[in-house]
Amino acid sequence: MRSQFAIVGIGETPVGKLPDRTALSLRLEASVAAMRDAGIDKREIDGVITTQMRSHPQPNYSALLSERLGITPNYVTDISLGGAAAASMVVNAAATIASGLCSTVLCVSGDSRSSARARSQSRRRLVSDAEDLRNLFGAGAAPIQYALAARRHMHEYGTSSRQFGAVAVACRRHAGMNPTAQMRQPITIEDHQNSPLIADPFRLLDCSLISDGAAALIVTRADRTGDCRQPPVYLMGTGYSCEHSEIASSRSMTTTAARGAARQAFETAGVVPSDVDVAELYDCFTAVVVVTLEDYGFCQKGEGGFFVEGGRIELGGDLPVNTHGGLLSHAHIGGISHLTESVIQLRHQAGLRQVKDARLAVASGQCGELGIHVTLLLGNSPN
């Protein structure tokens, strides 16, 4: 697996509130941008993978995109898995290429959740049976589920709301250096503490954004990257883990599927956490970053709250996290921006927010309320 596959192109649309744009137009714009970035013709794309949309789920979306791009790939599939879907696309692309079904895969994600909400289309969104059952207790919404896990972490390890706030502050600082980010005004821990309670212990500034936007990336075999416009970013290791589908079913709530996924990824890549230069970690809520850092082995279980304090996860710190601003401050378009940002960092194209000499990045996606996790290790050299 190590270094056999590479990301050779990325494409990103603007993000934020884009009421005049449909999800289809955003996904197509990102797709075309990724092909241009890679410098490859559309006829070279023989696989298309998309994520299932949350706001307006539709069947066979990968086929629709292919049709509108005017291509007839050998392989198409749509991936559910919420916030794990984007990273899962890359793993699926590598596995499908390895199987011989295709050689160059376009992976596309994005949605118009912000505008769909404004248009009151939320009734058409994807809802699980479990959410229906939890609605009897006013417990259907995601912030409540993740807050249950955060509360348990506070109980077991003394983690504080101010420590969760440090994650929000770091993401916002990085967003301030990213011209494309949705929320760029700096915030302090005090701003976090003064933001309204949503689902105690979570305050408004613990919660991610709701955004419109799309992004795409192109995965191919490492030995086919020679003609591409941009330097390849190699897939050094991948990990995948499924432990539960809803948080109440977790016996622990504080050790998550991230642990198994990361262990697998670090083993296949033959590297250790201290080798990582930059971490782009799925951050639907601040506490998820704290738990992921622990489960990845950047610190001991229970020490995540202390780890994120004092600027350690900010640019210039030991481990810059979410250098684009994350779901908390850049935009929430499903987590694919954590992957495009990893590529940008490893190409050294991140401008003000560039992590100096970044060579190895780790990116995560997760869903199922900490139960489903995908880890990618990406590097700018095959060795």
Partner 1 sequence: MLQCCSGCHLYRYPPSPICNSCLSPDHQWVPASGKGTLFSFVVVHRALDPYWQGEVPYAVAVVELAEGPHLISNLVGIDFDQIQIGMALRVVFEALSDEIKVPRFRVRQT
Q: Which of 57, 143, 231, 273 binds partner 1 (CB under 8 A)?
A: 143
Distance CA 324, CA 337 (A): 8
Question: Could you say which DSSP state residue 42 is in?
Answer: G
Which of these segments, 5-13, 44-52, 130-138, 264-272, binds partner 1 (CB under 8 A)?
A: 130-138
If binding is defined by CB under 8 A, does position 9 make contact with partner 1? no
Residue 138 or 316 with smaller CB distance to partner 1: 138
CB of 344 to partner 1, least distance (A): 33
The rounded distance, in Å, linking the Cα atoms of 24 and 42 is 18
Given the rule CB under 8 A, which of 18-26, 32-40, 137-145, 175-183 is the region that contacts partner 1?
137-145
The yes or no reply on residue 43 touching partner 1 (CB under 8 A) is no
Amino acid identity of residue 173, one-letter, is R
- Please tell me whether residue 242 binds partner 1 under the rule CB under 8 A: no
Asked if 126 touches partner 1 (CB under 8 A), the answer is no
Separation between Cα atoms, residue 341 and residue 174, nearest integer Å:
12
Polymer length in residues for the chain: 383
Residues whose CB is less than 8 angstroms from the CB of residue 346 and which lie 6 or more positions away in sequence, other chains included: 233, 358, 359, 361, 378, 379, 380
Quick check: 1 binds partner 1 (CB under 8 A)?
A: no
Residue 151 or 184 with smaller CB distance to partner 1: 151
Tokens linked to 72? 């007839």
Reduced to 3 states (helix: H, G, I; strand: E, B; else coil), residue 114 is: helix
- 197 HSE (CA, 13 A, CB side): 5
Instruction: Give the three-state DSSP class for 97.
Output: helix
Q: Does 253 bind partner 1 (CB under 8 A)?
A: yes
- Candidates 133, 158, 229, 352; binder of partner 1 (CB under 8 A) is 133
Q: Furthest-apart CA pair in the chain: how many Å?
A: 57
Among 17, 117, 125, 151, binds partner 1 (CB under 8 A): 151
Cα–Cα distances (Å) from 35 to 7, 215, 223, 247, 337, in that order, read 11, 12, 18, 39, 17
Judged by CB under 8 A, the stretch of 48-56, 92-100, 143-151, 224-232 that binds partner 1 is 143-151
Comparing CA positions, the residue from 105, 78, 146, 128 lying closest to residue 282 is 146
Taking CB under 8 A as the rule, does residue 301 contact partner 1? no
User: What does each C-alpha distance from 315 to 239, 318, 327 come to in angstroms?
Assistant: 26, 8, 17
Among 137, 316, 356, 357, binds partner 1 (CB under 8 A): 137
Supply the Cα-derived Rg of the chain in whole angstroms.
19
Shortest distance, position 286 Cβ to partner 1, whole Å: 15
Does position 127 interact with partner 1 (CB under 8 A)? The reply is no
C-alpha–C-alpha distance, residues 109 and 118, integer Å: 20
Region from 23-31, 127-135, 321-329, 375-383 binding partner 1, contact rule CB under 8 A: 127-135
Considering the rule CB under 8 A, would residue 117 count as an interface residue with partner 1? no
189 binds partner 1 (CB under 8 A): no
Total residues contacting partner 1 by CB under 8 A comes to 31
| String marking each residue 196-235 x if it binds partner 1 according to CB under 8 A | xxxxxxx---------------------------------
Q: Are 329 and 180 in contact (CB under 8 A)?
A: no
User: Quick one: 156 or 267, whose CB is closer to partner 1?
Assistant: 156
Among 60, 249, 300, 349, binds partner 1 (CB under 8 A): 249
- Picking from 242, 218, 286, the residue whose alpha carbon sits closest to that of residue 82 is 242
Which residues are at the interface with partner 1 (CB under 8 A)?
130, 133-141, 143-144, 147-149, 151-152, 155, 196-202, 247-251, 253
